[in-house]
Chain A
C-alpha cells in the first residue's frame, strides 16, 4: 500500500501545502498550475455530486477511484480541503485525513502564529511532522513503480 501525494487547500482555493512521497509520474506543469487544476476539479465534482445526488447528500464527495489510484478528499466545515492520493488498497484514509487535520494541521500550522491564515505553509516543523506522520501510517510503504 502506498501514499502518493497530498494537497491542502483553503476555502478560497489557495494551495496551502503540497507533499509528495511516492509519485512516479509528474503532471508536467508547475505546482501552481497543478493546484489550480486540482482545486477546480474538486470544486466541480463537489457541486456535481450535490446536484446529481438522488438522496439528500450528507457528507458530499469523499473519494474517487481510477484503475491505478484513489483520491480521497476531506472537507472541514471551515472549507479546508485535505486531498490525499493513495493506491486502491488503502484502508481508513478518511480517519487518517481527520488525524492529519487535528494533529498536524491544527497543532503545527494553526497554533503557529508565524503561519499566516490563508497563506502557503512554509514551516519546516509542519513539514517534518507531516512526513513523520505519513511514514508511520500502515498505509505507507514504498513500492517500486
Chain B
C-alpha cells in the first residue's frame, strides 16, 4: 500500500499558485457581493463543499480509522493541515470536558501577502467550512470559528473547533 500512497503524493504545486488563486476568488466575490457577511457565508459554503470531498481523499491517503475521541480527531486535522497546506498548526486550549480545542498557527499559505480592509471579512473562512464538511462525513457534527486572526491584528490565528454531537448511522429505508 505504501508505494501507492507515495505515488498519490507526487502532485505538488507551488503554494503561491494556491495563494493567488484563492486571493483572486475572494476579491472577485467582494466585487460581486455587496455584503461582506454574505461573502463570509459563501466562502464557508465553498469550504464545506470542498471538505465533503476532501475527506475521502484524506481517508484514502492515510487509511486512518474512525476516531474514538476528539483528541484523535484533533491529531488528524493537524495531519490534514500538513498534508494539504503544508503547515503545522498547534493544538491547544482544550476545554475541561475535552470537546473543544483550538488550532493555532502563525503562517498560512492562504493568507500570505494579504492586507485586510476593515470590513468584517473573514478571509480564511474557507478553512472552518472545510473542517465542518469533512467531519460531517465521518459523522461528527462540529462548530468551527475564528477566535483570533492575524489579518485583524492579532499575534496569531486561532481557530476554535467545538464538538456538537455524533451523527447517527442511517437506517435503510423501510420495506413496504
Contacts and interface: CB of A to CB of B under 8 A. Distances in A.
A43 interface: yes
27 contacts: A11-B139, A11-B169, A11-B170, A13-B170, A13-B172, A13-B173, A39-B172, A40-B172, A40-B175, A76-B59, A77-B64, A77-B66, A77-B67, A78-B55, A78-B138, A79-B137, A79-B138, A79-B169, A98-B1, A98-B60, A102-B4, A102-B8, A102-B63, A103-B4, A106-B57, A110-B57, A111-B57
Contacts of A12: 170
Interface in A34-68: 36, 39-40, 43
A129 to B, nearest CB: 15
Contacts, number: 59
Given A77-B66, A79-B139, A110 B53 contact: yes
Nearest to B139: A79
B65 interface: yes
Interface in B101-148: 137-139
Contacts of A99: 4
Interface of A: 11-13, 36, 39-40, 43, 76-80, 95, 98-99, 101-103, 105-106, 110-111, 117
Residue among A12, A13, A76, A105 with the most chain B CB within 10 A?
A76
Residue among A12, A77, A80, A110 with the most chain B CB within 10 A?
A77
